[in-house]
Protein backbone atom coordinates (compact mmCIF):
# COMPACT_ATOMS: atom_id res chain seq x y z
CA UNK A 1 0.00 0.00 0.00
CA UNK A 2 1.81 3.10 -1.24
CA UNK A 3 -0.05 6.39 -1.52
CA UNK A 4 0.85 9.40 -3.62
CA UNK A 5 -2.22 11.72 -3.60
CA UNK A 6 -0.47 14.45 -1.59
CA UNK A 7 -1.56 18.02 -0.98
CA UNK A 8 0.63 20.67 -2.56
CA UNK A 9 2.69 21.13 0.61
CA UNK A 10 3.01 17.46 1.45
CA UNK A 11 3.73 16.66 -2.22
CA UNK A 12 6.77 18.96 -2.26
CA UNK A 13 8.08 17.46 0.97
CA UNK A 14 7.73 13.87 -0.15
CA UNK A 15 9.20 14.61 -3.60
CA UNK A 16 12.27 16.10 -1.90
CA UNK A 17 12.52 12.97 0.19
CA UNK A 18 12.34 10.83 -2.97
CA UNK A 19 15.19 12.53 -4.89
CA UNK A 20 17.55 9.56 -4.81
CA UNK A 21 16.94 6.97 -7.57
CA UNK A 22 19.08 4.13 -6.32
CA UNK A 23 18.43 2.24 -3.11
CA UNK A 24 21.22 2.42 -0.54
CA UNK A 25 20.95 -0.75 1.40
CA UNK A 26 22.06 -1.21 4.99
CA UNK A 27 25.56 -2.60 5.20
CA UNK A 28 25.03 -6.18 6.00
CA UNK A 29 27.13 -9.22 6.32
CA UNK A 30 26.64 -11.67 3.44
CA UNK A 31 25.77 -15.10 4.74
CA UNK A 32 26.21 -17.35 1.73
CA UNK A 33 25.87 -21.08 2.08
CA UNK A 34 28.55 -22.81 0.03
CA UNK A 35 28.99 -26.39 -0.87
CA UNK A 36 32.27 -27.00 0.91
CA UNK A 37 32.52 -30.23 2.85
CA UNK A 38 33.62 -29.88 6.43
CA UNK A 39 36.35 -32.32 7.46
CA UNK A 40 37.38 -33.43 10.89
CA UNK A 41 40.83 -32.95 12.32
CA UNK A 42 42.99 -36.03 12.65
CA UNK A 43 42.41 -37.17 9.06
CA UNK A 44 44.73 -39.95 7.95
CA UNK A 45 47.41 -39.35 5.31
CA UNK A 46 45.48 -41.41 2.76
CA UNK A 47 42.23 -39.53 3.48
CA UNK A 48 44.08 -36.22 3.21
CA UNK A 49 45.30 -37.17 -0.24
CA UNK A 50 41.76 -38.14 -1.28
CA UNK A 51 40.36 -34.87 0.06
CA UNK A 52 42.98 -32.83 -1.73
CA UNK A 53 42.21 -34.71 -4.94
CA UNK A 54 38.46 -33.99 -4.57
CA UNK A 55 39.09 -30.29 -3.95
CA UNK A 56 41.42 -30.07 -6.92
CA UNK A 57 38.89 -31.71 -9.25
CA UNK A 58 36.65 -28.65 -8.83
CA UNK A 59 39.28 -26.13 -9.95
CA UNK A 60 41.67 -27.92 -12.32
CA UNK A 61 41.48 -30.66 -14.92
CA UNK A 62 41.77 -34.27 -13.89
CA UNK A 63 45.15 -34.42 -15.53
CA UNK A 64 46.50 -31.51 -13.52
CA UNK A 65 44.98 -33.00 -10.41
CA UNK A 66 46.89 -36.23 -10.89
CA UNK A 67 50.13 -34.35 -11.45
CA UNK A 68 49.71 -32.07 -8.46
CA UNK A 69 48.72 -34.79 -6.02
CA UNK A 70 52.14 -36.32 -6.71
CA UNK A 71 53.88 -33.16 -5.62
CA UNK A 72 54.49 -33.03 -1.87
CA UNK A 73 54.82 -29.24 -1.80
CA UNK A 74 51.53 -28.74 -3.61
CA UNK A 75 49.85 -31.22 -1.29
CA UNK A 76 50.98 -29.17 1.69
CA UNK A 77 49.61 -26.00 0.08
CA UNK A 78 46.27 -27.66 -0.55
CA UNK A 79 46.10 -29.00 2.98
CA UNK A 80 46.75 -25.50 4.30
CA UNK A 81 44.10 -24.04 1.97
CA UNK A 82 41.63 -26.73 3.10
CA UNK A 83 42.21 -25.78 6.73
CA UNK A 84 41.53 -22.10 5.96
CA UNK A 85 38.29 -23.01 4.20
CA UNK A 86 37.22 -25.07 7.20
CA UNK A 87 37.84 -22.14 9.55
CA UNK A 88 36.15 -19.48 7.41
CA UNK A 89 33.14 -21.63 6.53
CA UNK A 90 32.44 -23.15 9.92
CA UNK A 91 29.41 -20.93 10.63
CA UNK A 92 28.29 -20.52 7.02
CA UNK A 93 27.89 -24.26 6.52
CA UNK A 94 26.53 -25.00 9.97
CA UNK A 95 23.23 -26.14 8.56
CA UNK A 96 25.01 -28.91 6.64
CA UNK A 97 26.50 -30.51 9.73
CA UNK A 98 23.58 -29.94 12.11
CA UNK A 99 20.83 -32.53 11.81
CA UNK A 100 17.43 -31.29 12.96
CA UNK A 101 14.88 -34.03 13.77
CA UNK A 102 12.20 -32.58 11.47
CA UNK A 103 8.44 -33.13 11.76
CA UNK A 104 6.93 -36.64 11.75
CA UNK A 105 6.54 -38.31 8.35
CA UNK A 106 2.74 -38.11 8.53
CA UNK A 107 2.84 -34.36 9.19
CA UNK A 108 2.27 -32.13 6.15
CA UNK A 109 4.10 -28.83 5.60
CA UNK A 110 2.60 -28.14 2.18
CA UNK A 111 0.88 -24.97 3.42
CA UNK A 112 4.32 -23.43 4.01
CA UNK A 113 5.40 -23.55 0.36
CA UNK A 114 4.52 -19.93 -0.26
CA UNK A 115 6.16 -18.72 2.94
CA UNK A 116 9.31 -20.66 2.03
CA UNK A 117 9.41 -18.83 -1.31
CA UNK A 118 9.04 -15.51 0.51
CA UNK A 119 11.91 -16.36 2.85
CA UNK A 120 14.09 -17.38 -0.10
CA UNK A 121 13.30 -14.09 -1.86
CA UNK A 122 14.29 -12.07 1.22
CA UNK A 123 17.19 -14.18 2.40
CA UNK A 124 19.61 -11.26 1.90
CA UNK A 125 17.39 -9.06 4.07
CA UNK A 126 17.27 -11.66 6.79
CA UNK A 127 20.90 -12.61 6.26
CA UNK A 128 22.44 -10.65 9.14
CA UNK A 129 22.32 -13.23 11.89
CA UNK A 130 24.59 -11.55 14.38
CA UNK A 131 22.95 -12.84 17.52
CA UNK A 132 22.31 -10.37 20.36
CA UNK A 133 22.64 -7.54 17.81
CA UNK A 134 20.42 -8.21 14.78
CA UNK A 135 18.33 -10.88 16.46
CA UNK A 136 17.74 -12.69 19.75
CA UNK A 137 20.35 -15.38 20.33
CA UNK A 138 19.11 -18.93 20.05
CA UNK A 139 15.50 -18.09 19.12
CA UNK A 140 13.45 -18.50 15.95
CA UNK A 141 9.86 -17.69 15.04
CA UNK A 142 7.56 -20.12 13.23
CA UNK A 143 3.92 -19.82 12.13
CA UNK A 144 1.69 -22.33 13.88
CA UNK A 145 -2.10 -22.56 13.81
CA UNK A 146 -2.36 -24.08 17.28
CA UNK A 147 -0.19 -24.38 20.37
CA UNK A 148 -0.06 -28.15 19.86
CA UNK A 149 1.30 -27.59 16.38
CA UNK A 150 3.79 -25.10 17.83
CA UNK A 151 5.14 -27.80 20.16
CA UNK A 152 5.57 -30.21 17.26
CA UNK A 153 7.53 -27.54 15.39
CA UNK A 154 9.73 -26.92 18.42
CA UNK A 155 10.53 -30.64 18.56
CA UNK A 156 11.32 -30.56 14.82
CA UNK A 157 14.21 -28.23 15.62
CA UNK A 158 15.21 -30.19 18.70
CA UNK A 159 14.22 -27.19 20.78
CA UNK A 160 11.53 -26.11 23.22
CA UNK A 161 8.51 -23.83 22.91
CA UNK A 162 9.20 -20.61 24.80
CA UNK A 163 6.02 -18.74 23.89
CA UNK A 164 2.98 -18.96 21.67
CA UNK A 165 1.45 -15.64 20.64
CA UNK A 166 -0.98 -14.75 17.84
CA UNK A 167 -0.32 -17.99 15.90
CA UNK A 168 3.45 -17.60 16.19
CA UNK A 169 5.73 -20.03 18.02
CA UNK A 170 8.83 -18.66 19.71
CA UNK A 171 11.24 -21.60 19.72
CA UNK A 172 14.37 -21.92 21.83
CA UNK A 173 17.01 -23.78 19.82
CA UNK A 174 19.00 -26.52 21.59
CA UNK A 175 22.10 -25.31 23.40
CA UNK A 176 24.04 -28.46 22.57
CA UNK A 177 25.94 -28.53 19.30
CA UNK A 178 26.27 -24.77 18.85
CA UNK A 179 23.01 -24.54 16.89
CA UNK A 180 22.70 -21.04 15.45
CA UNK A 181 19.73 -19.03 14.24
CA UNK A 182 21.37 -18.85 10.82
CA UNK A 183 21.65 -22.65 10.65
CA UNK A 184 17.98 -23.09 11.51
CA UNK A 185 16.73 -20.48 9.02
CA UNK A 186 18.80 -21.82 6.14
CA UNK A 187 17.86 -25.41 6.98
CA UNK A 188 14.16 -24.46 6.79
CA UNK A 189 14.63 -23.55 3.12
CA UNK A 190 15.32 -27.19 2.28
CA UNK A 191 12.02 -29.07 1.92
CA UNK A 192 13.83 -32.39 2.30
CA UNK A 193 14.69 -31.54 5.90
CA UNK A 194 10.96 -31.46 6.78
CA UNK A 195 11.18 -28.28 8.85
CA UNK A 196 8.66 -25.46 9.21
CA UNK A 197 9.83 -22.10 7.83
CA UNK A 198 11.89 -20.25 10.44
CA UNK A 199 12.49 -16.52 10.87
CA UNK A 200 14.96 -14.81 13.21
CA UNK A 201 13.43 -13.17 16.28
CA UNK A 202 14.75 -9.84 15.02
CA UNK A 203 15.41 -6.69 17.00
CA UNK A 204 13.64 -3.45 16.01
CA UNK A 205 15.55 -0.47 17.36
CA UNK A 206 13.95 2.65 18.81
CA UNK A 207 14.33 5.43 16.24
CA UNK A 208 15.59 8.43 18.21
CA UNK A 209 18.28 10.73 16.85
CA UNK A 210 18.89 13.01 19.83
CA UNK A 211 17.26 14.28 22.99
CA UNK A 212 17.48 17.34 25.17
CA UNK A 213 15.87 18.02 28.52
CA UNK A 214 14.55 21.47 29.23
CA UNK A 215 16.93 23.52 31.34
CA UNK A 216 15.04 26.79 31.14
CA UNK A 217 11.55 28.03 30.37
CA UNK A 218 12.36 31.72 30.13
CA UNK A 219 10.26 33.86 27.84
CA UNK A 220 11.80 34.86 24.51
CA UNK A 221 11.50 37.89 22.25
CA UNK A 222 8.69 36.25 20.23
CA UNK A 223 5.53 38.30 19.94
CA UNK A 224 2.95 36.95 22.36
CA UNK A 225 -0.02 36.99 19.99
CA UNK A 226 -1.16 33.56 21.17
CA UNK A 227 -0.09 33.86 24.78
CA UNK A 228 -3.61 34.44 26.04
CA UNK A 229 -5.29 31.76 23.92
CA UNK A 230 -4.05 28.72 25.86
CA UNK A 231 -2.97 28.28 29.44
CA UNK A 232 -0.60 25.43 28.50
CA UNK A 233 2.83 27.03 28.79
CA UNK A 234 4.57 25.40 25.84
CA UNK A 235 1.77 26.17 23.39
CA UNK A 236 2.72 29.84 23.63
CA UNK A 237 5.49 31.13 21.33
CA UNK A 238 6.82 33.45 24.04
CA UNK A 239 8.66 30.43 25.45
CA UNK A 240 11.84 29.10 23.90
CA UNK A 241 10.50 25.54 24.30
CA UNK A 242 7.38 26.33 22.27
CA UNK A 243 5.85 23.30 20.51
CA UNK A 244 6.40 24.71 17.03
CA UNK A 245 4.94 21.72 15.22
CA UNK A 246 1.36 22.59 16.21
CA UNK A 247 1.50 25.78 14.16
CA UNK A 248 2.95 23.99 11.13
CA UNK A 249 0.37 21.18 11.00
CA UNK A 250 -2.58 23.40 11.95
CA UNK A 251 -3.48 21.94 15.35
CA UNK A 252 -4.91 25.22 16.66
CA UNK A 253 -7.34 25.52 13.74
CA UNK A 254 -8.55 21.93 14.21
CA UNK A 255 -9.03 22.43 17.96
CA UNK A 256 -10.99 25.65 17.41
CA UNK A 257 -13.30 23.70 15.08
CA UNK A 258 -13.85 21.06 17.73
CA UNK A 259 -11.63 18.34 16.30
CA UNK A 260 -9.42 17.00 19.06
CA UNK A 261 -9.42 13.25 18.35
CA UNK A 262 -12.36 12.64 20.68
CA UNK A 263 -13.72 9.10 20.37
CA UNK A 264 -10.61 7.80 18.58
CA UNK A 265 -8.41 5.08 20.11
CA UNK A 266 -4.67 5.20 19.48
CA UNK A 267 -2.33 2.37 20.51
CA UNK A 268 1.33 3.19 21.13
CA UNK A 269 3.67 0.19 20.90
CA UNK A 270 6.72 1.41 22.77
CA UNK A 271 8.60 1.36 26.09
CA UNK A 272 5.60 2.09 28.31
CA UNK A 273 4.48 5.34 29.93
CA UNK A 274 4.89 7.41 33.10
CA UNK A 275 1.34 6.84 34.33
CA UNK A 276 1.35 9.60 36.96
CA UNK A 277 2.65 12.32 34.66
CA UNK A 278 0.83 15.63 35.24
CA UNK A 279 0.03 16.11 31.54
CA UNK A 280 -1.02 12.57 30.58
CA UNK A 281 -4.18 10.52 30.89
CA UNK A 282 -3.07 7.28 29.29
CA UNK A 283 -4.17 3.68 29.76
CA UNK A 284 -1.09 1.59 30.32
CA UNK A 285 -0.61 -2.12 29.69
CA UNK A 286 2.28 -4.45 28.86
CA UNK A 287 2.94 -7.59 26.83
CA UNK A 288 6.16 -8.28 28.73
CA UNK A 289 6.38 -11.16 31.17
CA UNK A 290 6.36 -8.96 34.28
CA UNK A 291 3.28 -7.07 33.09
CA UNK A 292 4.70 -3.74 34.31
CA UNK A 293 3.55 -0.81 32.14
CA UNK A 294 6.04 1.65 33.70
CA UNK A 295 8.38 3.45 31.30
CA UNK A 296 12.02 2.92 32.24
CA UNK A 297 13.53 4.07 28.95
CA UNK A 298 11.50 7.28 28.63
CA UNK A 299 10.79 6.93 24.93
CA UNK A 300 7.18 5.77 25.21
CA UNK A 301 6.23 8.66 27.51
CA UNK A 302 7.50 11.14 24.91
CA UNK A 303 5.55 9.42 22.12
CA UNK A 304 2.31 9.25 24.15
CA UNK A 305 2.55 12.97 24.95
CA UNK A 306 2.83 13.91 21.28
CA UNK A 307 -0.47 12.18 20.61
CA UNK A 308 -2.57 12.77 23.70
CA UNK A 309 -1.08 15.21 26.24
CA UNK A 310 -3.91 17.19 27.84
CA UNK A 311 -5.00 20.54 26.42
CA UNK A 312 -5.89 23.56 28.58
CA UNK A 313 -4.80 22.14 31.93
CA UNK A 314 -2.31 24.89 32.76
CA UNK A 315 0.82 22.74 32.47
CA UNK A 316 3.24 21.58 29.77
CA UNK A 317 2.07 21.53 26.19
CA UNK A 318 -0.50 19.38 24.38
CA UNK A 319 -0.76 16.38 22.13
CA UNK A 320 -2.02 16.71 18.56
CA UNK A 321 -5.16 14.75 19.51
CA UNK A 322 -5.56 15.77 23.18
CA UNK A 323 -8.97 14.15 23.64
CA UNK A 324 -8.13 10.84 21.97
CA UNK A 325 -7.90 7.69 24.09
CA UNK A 326 -4.27 6.58 24.18
CA UNK A 327 -3.31 3.00 25.02
CA UNK A 328 0.33 2.60 25.94
CA UNK A 329 1.20 -1.02 25.09
CA UNK A 330 4.64 -1.70 26.50
CA UNK A 331 6.68 -3.95 24.21
CA UNK A 332 10.19 -3.31 25.55
CA UNK A 333 12.31 -2.13 28.47
CA UNK A 334 15.27 -1.40 26.19
CA UNK A 335 16.05 0.66 23.10
CA UNK A 336 15.04 -2.30 20.93
CA UNK A 337 11.94 -4.45 20.50
CA UNK A 338 11.89 -8.17 19.72
CA UNK A 339 9.74 -9.36 16.83
CA UNK A 340 7.60 -11.56 19.07
CA UNK A 341 6.84 -8.66 21.44
CA UNK A 342 5.95 -6.47 18.47
CA UNK A 343 3.56 -9.18 17.28
CA UNK A 344 2.06 -9.41 20.78
CA UNK A 345 1.70 -5.62 20.84
CA UNK A 346 -0.21 -5.58 17.57
CA UNK A 347 -2.46 -8.35 18.87
CA UNK A 348 -3.15 -6.24 21.98
CA UNK A 349 -3.93 -3.17 19.84
CA UNK A 350 -6.53 -5.19 17.96
CA UNK A 351 -7.93 -6.47 21.26
CA UNK A 352 -8.41 -2.89 22.50
CA UNK A 353 -10.12 -2.05 19.18
CA UNK A 354 -7.60 0.65 18.35
CA UNK A 355 -8.32 2.82 15.33
CA UNK A 356 -4.69 3.86 14.92
CA UNK A 357 -1.39 2.22 15.90
CA UNK A 358 2.01 3.90 16.25
CA UNK A 359 5.32 2.01 16.02
CA UNK A 360 8.50 4.04 16.46
CA UNK A 361 11.10 1.30 15.96
CA UNK A 362 12.89 -0.08 12.92
CA UNK A 363 15.12 -2.81 11.51
CA UNK A 364 16.83 -3.21 8.12
CA UNK A 365 15.58 -6.80 7.91
CA UNK A 366 12.29 -8.07 6.51
CA UNK A 367 10.10 -10.48 8.47
CA UNK A 368 6.98 -11.95 6.86
CA UNK A 369 5.37 -12.67 10.25
CA UNK A 370 5.50 -8.95 11.14
CA UNK A 371 4.14 -7.94 7.74
CA UNK A 372 1.28 -10.45 8.02
CA UNK A 373 0.15 -8.87 11.30
CA UNK A 374 0.33 -5.36 9.85
CA UNK A 375 -1.77 -6.47 6.88
CA UNK A 376 -4.35 -7.92 9.28
CA UNK A 377 -4.61 -4.53 11.02
CA UNK A 378 -4.75 -2.70 7.69
CA UNK A 379 -7.55 -4.88 6.30
CA UNK A 380 -9.39 -4.43 9.60
CA UNK A 381 -9.41 -0.67 9.00
CA UNK A 382 -6.64 0.11 11.50
CA UNK A 383 -4.06 2.66 10.35
CA UNK A 384 -0.49 1.69 11.33
CA UNK A 385 1.98 4.59 11.40
CA UNK A 386 5.66 3.60 11.51
CA UNK A 387 8.88 5.61 11.86
CA UNK A 388 10.85 5.44 8.62
CA UNK A 389 14.27 5.44 10.30
CA UNK A 390 17.12 7.86 10.97
CA UNK A 391 19.90 6.58 8.75
CA UNK A 392 19.62 9.44 6.24
CA UNK A 393 19.35 7.09 3.26
CA UNK A 394 16.72 5.75 0.89
CA UNK A 395 17.16 2.30 2.39
CA UNK A 396 14.05 0.30 3.19
CA UNK A 397 13.42 -0.27 6.89
CA UNK A 398 10.89 -2.53 8.51
CA UNK A 399 8.15 -2.56 9.55
CA UNK A 400 7.81 0.84 7.80
CA UNK A 401 8.26 -0.76 4.36
CA UNK A 402 5.77 -3.56 5.08
CA UNK A 403 2.61 -3.72 3.01
CA UNK A 404 -0.17 -1.92 4.86
CA UNK A 405 2.14 0.29 6.95
CA UNK A 406 2.28 4.09 6.67
CA UNK A 407 5.97 5.05 6.61
CA UNK A 408 6.61 8.48 8.16
CA UNK A 409 9.63 10.67 7.38
CA UNK A 410 10.69 13.81 9.27
CA UNK A 411 11.03 17.50 8.43
CA UNK A 412 12.33 20.44 10.47
CA UNK A 413 10.91 23.82 11.51
CA UNK A 414 11.91 25.27 8.14
CA UNK A 415 9.77 22.53 6.53
CA UNK A 416 12.89 20.96 5.01
CA UNK A 417 13.74 17.26 5.28
CA UNK A 418 15.55 16.53 8.54
CA UNK A 419 19.21 15.66 7.99
CA UNK A 420 18.71 12.26 9.63
CA UNK A 421 15.47 11.15 8.00
CA UNK A 422 15.22 8.25 5.60
CA UNK A 423 13.59 9.07 2.28
CA UNK A 424 12.66 7.51 -1.06
CA UNK A 425 9.93 5.30 -2.46
CA UNK A 426 9.10 3.79 0.90
CA UNK A 427 7.80 7.09 2.34
CA UNK A 428 4.04 7.68 2.60
CA UNK A 429 3.92 10.81 4.73
CA UNK A 430 6.15 13.43 6.37
CA UNK A 431 5.67 15.18 9.71
CA UNK A 432 7.68 17.39 12.10
CA UNK A 433 10.48 15.47 13.82
CA UNK A 434 13.23 17.98 14.70
CA UNK A 435 13.63 19.25 18.27
CA UNK A 436 10.17 18.13 19.35
CA UNK A 437 9.05 18.93 22.89
CA UNK A 438 6.85 16.47 24.75
CA UNK A 439 6.40 14.70 28.07
CA UNK A 440 9.30 12.70 29.56
CA UNK A 441 9.56 10.30 32.49
CA UNK A 442 11.78 12.57 34.55
CA UNK A 443 9.94 13.44 37.78
CA UNK A 444 11.75 16.76 38.10
CA UNK A 445 11.89 18.06 34.54
CA UNK A 446 8.75 16.36 33.15
CA UNK A 447 9.31 17.78 29.64
CA UNK A 448 12.07 17.44 27.11
CA UNK A 449 12.96 17.51 23.41
CA UNK A 450 13.77 14.62 21.12
CA UNK A 451 14.50 14.46 17.41
CA UNK A 452 13.86 11.60 15.03
CA UNK A 453 11.28 9.86 12.92
CA UNK A 454 10.22 8.43 16.30
CA UNK A 455 8.69 11.85 16.95
CA UNK A 456 7.41 12.40 13.42
CA UNK A 457 5.42 9.17 13.44
CA UNK A 458 3.27 9.90 16.54
CA UNK A 459 2.64 13.45 15.32
CA UNK A 460 1.33 11.91 12.09
CA UNK A 461 -0.71 9.38 14.11
CA UNK A 462 -2.17 12.17 16.25
CA UNK A 463 -3.06 14.16 13.15
CA UNK A 464 -4.78 11.08 11.74
CA UNK A 465 -6.86 10.77 14.94
CA UNK A 466 -8.09 14.35 14.49
CA UNK A 467 -8.91 13.75 10.81
CA UNK A 468 -10.62 10.44 11.60
CA UNK A 469 -12.91 12.19 14.12
CA UNK A 470 -13.82 14.68 11.38
CA UNK A 471 -14.35 11.93 8.78
CA UNK A 472 -16.66 9.97 11.05
CA UNK A 473 -18.71 13.00 11.95
CA UNK A 474 -19.10 13.80 8.25
CA UNK A 475 -20.04 10.19 7.44
CA UNK A 476 -16.98 9.67 5.26
CA UNK A 477 -15.60 6.76 7.29
CA UNK A 478 -17.66 4.33 9.37
CA UNK A 479 -16.48 2.70 12.58
CA UNK A 480 -16.53 -0.74 10.90
CA UNK A 481 -13.66 0.28 8.65
CA UNK A 482 -11.65 -1.60 6.01
CA UNK A 483 -8.39 -1.07 4.16
CA UNK A 484 -10.27 1.28 1.83
CA UNK A 485 -11.02 3.53 4.80
CA UNK A 486 -7.37 3.53 5.87
CA UNK A 487 -6.40 4.70 2.39
CA UNK A 488 -9.11 7.37 2.50
CA UNK A 489 -7.92 8.52 5.93
CA UNK A 490 -4.37 9.02 4.67
CA UNK A 491 -5.68 10.83 1.60
CA UNK A 492 -7.69 13.23 3.80
CA UNK A 493 -4.66 13.68 6.05
CA UNK A 494 -2.49 14.62 3.09
CA UNK A 495 -5.07 17.10 1.84
CA UNK A 496 -5.33 18.83 5.22
CA UNK A 497 -9.04 18.03 5.50
CA UNK A 498 -9.47 19.55 8.96
User: Whose CA is closest to 403, among 362, 363, 356, 370?
Assistant: 370
Find the mean pLDDT for residues 302-310.
98
pLDDT grade, residue 203 (50/70/90)?
A: very high
CA dihedral 426, 431, 435, 436 (to 10 degrees): -120
Catalytic annotation, residues: 270, 299, 454
CA distance 101 to 196: 12
Checking if the pLDDT of 403 tops 70, the result is: yes
Contact indicator for 200, 163 with CB cutoff of 8 Å? no
Average pLDDT over residues 55-71: 40
pLDDT value of residue 129: 82
* CA 255 to chain centroid: 32
**Cα dihedral sign, 172-175-176-177:** positive
How would you classify the pairing of strands 199-206 and 361-362? Answer: antiparallel
Give the pLDDT band of residue 110 (cuts 50, 70, 90): confident
Which has more pLDDT, 28 or 229? 229
Alpha carbons within 13 A on the beta-carbon side of 10: 23
Closest CA to 39 of 77, 5, 104, 84: 84
Strand-pair partners of 163: 170
Output the CA–CA distances (angstroms, integers) from residue 204 to 172, 201, 328, in the order listed.
Answer: 19, 10, 18
What predicted TM-score, i.e. pTM, was given to this entire model? 0.80
| Gap between the Cα atoms of 43 and 75, Å rounded | 14
For the cut 50, the answer to whether the pLDDT of residue 185 exceeds it is yes
pLDDT over 70 at 498, yes or no: yes
The answer on pLDDT for 407 being more than 90 is: yes
**Distance in Å from the first CA to the final CA of the chain:** 24
Amino acid sequence: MRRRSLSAFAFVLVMVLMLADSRVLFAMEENIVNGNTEYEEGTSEQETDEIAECIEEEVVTSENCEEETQDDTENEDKAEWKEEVEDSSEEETAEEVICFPGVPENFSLSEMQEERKILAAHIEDTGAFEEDVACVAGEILVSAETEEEARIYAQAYGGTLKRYVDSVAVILLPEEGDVTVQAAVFASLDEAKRLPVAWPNAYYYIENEAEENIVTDEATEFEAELSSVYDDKYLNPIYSEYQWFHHVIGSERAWRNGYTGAGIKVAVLDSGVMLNHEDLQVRGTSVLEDGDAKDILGHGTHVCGLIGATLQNGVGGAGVAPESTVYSIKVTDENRVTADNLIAGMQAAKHYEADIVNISSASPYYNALIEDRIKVLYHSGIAVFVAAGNQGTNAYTYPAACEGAIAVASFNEATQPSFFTNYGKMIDYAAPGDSILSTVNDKELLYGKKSGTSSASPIAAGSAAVVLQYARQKGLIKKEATSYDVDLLVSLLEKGAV
